[in-house]
Amino acid sequence: MICKIHAHSYDELDDIFPDSIKKTHQRLDILRILYHSKTPLSAAEIYEKLNSEHKDNGYAFSTIYRSLSAFEKAGTIVKTVLTTEDNAVYEYRNETHKHYAVCLKCHKKIPISTCPMHDIIDELAKSIPGFKVTGHQMELTGYCENCSKQ
């Protein structure tokens, strides 16, 4: 089957797909989904998207999980666990990393545009002798506009 749309949308991934792993169409699909998503996605959400887009061929959960860890290992995506869910979510690692405000009621994830940690992280790192900081995670919890009205 010839699929122009895919052939086209794969182009944009050429720059970001890690050289260290094989370029399969499953992995390209997974990375494209994360690349375009505005919020981090769980393995189940990725599975949903894959199998609604490509009804003809199935995508297995094992493939998704294995691809996600391959991307994570390569540094292309980031895995995090939000306090409101008990599953992991994944997102494309933009040069500017993201943080989220999570609604405790409807579980909506609202991206926070700026990273306030940037300025204080070096200072903070000094208070932990010998620890080499490579990253950080931050999350606000509370209630979104809709849910706080009710």
Partner DNA sequence: TTGGTTGCAAAATGTTTGCATGACC
Partner DNA sequence: GGTCATGCAAACATTTTGCAACCAA
Q: Taking contact as CB under 7 A, which single stretch among the options 33-41, 60-68, 95-103, 132-140 is the one that binds DNA?
A: 60-68
Residues 109-138 interacting with a second copy (rule: CB under 8 A): 110, 112-114, 116-117, 120-121, 123-125, 127-138
Q: What's the rounded Cα separation, in Å, for the pair 135 and 40? A: 17
Burial 108-124 (b: 16+ CB within 10 A, else e): bbeeeeeeeeeeeeeee
Please state the length of the chain.
Answer: 150
> How buried is 83 (Cβ within 10 angstroms: 0-12 exposed, 13-18 middle, 19+ buried)?
exposed
42 binds DNA (CB under 7 A): yes
**57 interacts with DNA by CB under 7 A:** yes
Task: By CB under 7 A, tell whether 43 contacts DNA.
Answer: yes
37 binds DNA (CB under 7 A): no
**Is residue 65 involved in binding a second copy (CB under 8 A)?**
no
Name the binder of 36 from a second copy, DNA, none, CB < 5-8 A by kind: none
